Amino acid sequence: MSKQRKQISGTVRRGDRGLVEALRQQFELLKSACSTYDRGNELEIINIASRLRVILQGPQSLIGQLHLSKDLKFRDTSTHRLDPERNICIANIGIKLTPGVGAEWIPLLEGWPEGHPKPHSALFSAWWTEPIMPTSSPDGLDRTPRYSRQKLVLAIANQDGGAHLGKRDTDYDELTRDHFTYEVAWRGPGGESSFQPVQGNPVNACVRQVGHEVQGTLALNLQAALDARARRVANPPQQGSF
């Protein structure tokens, strides 16, 4: 009888070069998912959120394993710090008005409210965990930011596309299921319209915009962050130095 070779299972740790290549692959997958979403396939938001989770969430994320959180500056396109009396945008999303049809939530992409200063890029922890999305009730919108990018991305990735499909957090369910009440009216040749609710899922629009922020961040700042990390590794601070 011939001896059967024993199979030995295990894992191989990726080196920096492999992690950078994996990050570039995830970047391309994220870009493709965003393009498909923009062409009308809203289910692609689950893929967008999953790519963002792999890139961003926790110490085993690609950003975490490459130790880039202290060097990589993230694009911030949220309007939540602006004067609410002069700005109708919510978090990092806007409203598309179609007279005679209605209004819907859309990602801002490169759009920005005129006359308002744009925020500076932010370090990862603040950008990822700062609340930007408000909540609302039947009584109206509470503009106090309550949901962070992290919470919204993980809600879609885990609850809509992951292992927790049987249950949804109450807050997330209310935010995405007819409870996010916001009404707008517009002026046209025929006068001012009646107030109408903005249609669509605001969380999907927000996470799509997070994808836009991450694409811009990696395209513009990744190489500089990798270079800064390489210099830090090659020249660690001496003990007792300032």
Give the pLDDT score at 36.
Answer: 98
Phi, psi of 90 (to 5 degrees): -120, 130
Distances (CA, A) of 211 to 7, 138, 190, 193: 41, 30, 38, 34
189 inside domain: yes
Split at pLDDT 50, 70, 90, the class of 7 is low
Distances (CA, A) of 198 to 37, 55, 97, 103, 184: 19, 31, 9, 5, 7
79 inside domain: yes
Average pLDDT of the residues in 70-93: 89
Share of the chain above pLDDT 90, in %: 53
156, 207 contact by CB (below 8 A): yes
181 inside domain: yes
Split at pLDDT 50, 70, 90, the class of 242 is very low
Q: Which residue has the higher pLDDT, 148 or 179?
A: 148
- pLDDT at residue 147 greater than cutoff 90: yes
Burial class (CB in 10 A: 0-12, 13-18, 19+), 121: middle
Average pLDDT of the residues in 79-88: 84
Split at pLDDT 50, 70, 90, the class of 241 is very low
Helix, strand or coil, per DSSP, at residue 144: strand
- pLDDT at residue 146 greater than cutoff 70: yes
pTM for the whole structure: 0.86
- Residue 153 belongs to domain spanning: 16-226
Average pLDDT of the residues in 208-235: 92
Highest mean pLDDT among 144-153, 159-168, 197-206: 144-153
Q: Which residue has the higher pLDDT, 48 or 230?
A: 48
Helix, strand and coil content of the chain, in percent to the nearest 5, comes to 40, 20, 40
Q: Which residue has the higher pLDDT, 219 or 114?
A: 219
Helix axes 45-56, 16-38, angle to 10 degrees: 160
Domain count for the chain, please give it.
1
- pLDDT at residue 223 greater than cutoff 50: yes
Give the pLDDT score at 177.
Answer: 58
Burial class (CB in 10 A: 0-12, 13-18, 19+), 94: buried
47 inside domain: yes
233 inside domain: no
Q: Which residues share a beta bridge with 45?
A: none
DSSP symbol at 3? P
Q: Of 103-112, 126-135, 199-208, 230-239, give the lowest mean pLDDT range.
A: 230-239
**Distance separating alpha carbons of residues 104 and 95, to the nearest angstrom:** 6
147 inside domain: yes
203 inside domain: yes
126 inside domain: yes
